[in-house]
Structure 1
Amino acid sequence: MEDTKMFYSDDYPTEFDPNFYVQLYEDPEPNPMFGDLMSFTLTNYHKAFDSGTIKGTTLLDIGTGPTIHNIISAAPHCDNIFLSDFCQSNRDILKQWHDGSLEFSFDKIFEFVLKQEGKSKRDISERVAGVRDKIRGILHCDIRDENLFSTNFLPQVDIITSSLCLEAVATDQASYEQYARNMVGMLKPGGHLVMFGCVGGTFYTLGSKRFISFGMSRDELKSTWKKVGIEIISWDECVRPQQEYYDADAAFSMVGRKVPDF
Structure 2
Amino acid sequence: MEPGSHKLYNVHGFHSRNFLDTYCSGKAEMAFAHDSVRYPMMKFHNAFSSGDFKGDVLIDFSIGPVVHHLYAAQEYFRDIILLKPTEHCIVEVKKWTDSRTGAFDWSHASTIATEVAGNSDQCEEKEAGLRAAIKHVVKFDLNLENLTDPIVLPQADCLAIGCILEVISKDLEDFVNNFRRFSKLLKPGGRLLYYGGLNATFYMVGGERFHMVKYNESDLRDILSNEGFVITHLEVSQRKAESDLCDFDSVVFCTAYKE
TM-score (norm 2): 0.90
Please report how far the alpha carbon of residue 105 of structure 1 lies from its aligned counterpart in structure 2 after TM superposition.
2.9
- Secondary structure of the residue aligned to 1:36 is helix
CA distance in 2, matches of 1:223, 1:239: 21
CA contact (8 A) 1:237 1:250 kept: yes
Please tell me the residue identity of whatever aligns with 2:218: D
Match of 2:112 in 1: 112
Match of 2:20 in 1: 22
Match of 1:127 in 2: 126
CA distance in 2, matches of 1:47, 1:33: 21
CA distance in 2, matches of 1:75, 1:64: 20
Please tell me the residue identity of whatever aligns with 1:182: R
Task: Name structure 2 gaps, 5 residues minimum.
Answer: none
CA distance in 1, matches of 2:219, 2:143: 20
Deviation digits for residues 159-205 of structure 1 (CA, Å, limit 9, x no counterpart): 11121100001122211111111111100011111111121121111
Task: Name structure 1 gaps, 5 residues minimum.
Answer: none
CA distance in 2, matches of 1:205, 1:71: 24
Match of 1:179 in 2: 178
Distance 1:211 1:34, change over 3 A: farther
Please report how far the alpha carbon of residue 238 of structure 1 lies from its aligned counterpart in structure 2 after TM superposition.
1.8
Distance 1:9 1:107, change over 3 A: closer
- Secondary structure of the residue aligned to 2:122 is helix
Match of 1:70 in 2: 69
- Secondary structure of the residue aligned to 1:136 is strand
Please tell me the residue identity of whatever aligns with 1:152: I
Match of 2:78 in 1: 79
The aligned runs of 1:94-243 (5 Å cut-off) are 94-101=93-100, 102-120=102-120, 122-143=121-142, 145-240=144-239
- Secondary structure of the residue aligned to 2:167 is helix
TM-score (norm 1): 0.89
CA distance in 2, matches of 1:29, 1:78: 33
How many residue pairs were aligned?
252
CA contact (8 A) 1:28 1:39 kept: no
CA contact (8 A) 1:44 1:253 kept: yes
CA distance in 2, matches of 1:58, 1:39: 24
Please tell me the residue identity of whatever aligns with 2:111: E
CA distance in 1, matches of 2:172, 2:38: 28
CA distance in 1, matches of 2:145, 2:194: 19
Distance 1:176 1:34, change over 3 A: farther
Please report how far the alpha carbon of residue 145 of structure 1 lies from its aligned counterpart in structure 2 after TM superposition.
4.5
Identity over the aligned pairs, expressed in percent?
Answer: 24
CA contact (8 A) 2:10 2:86 kept: no
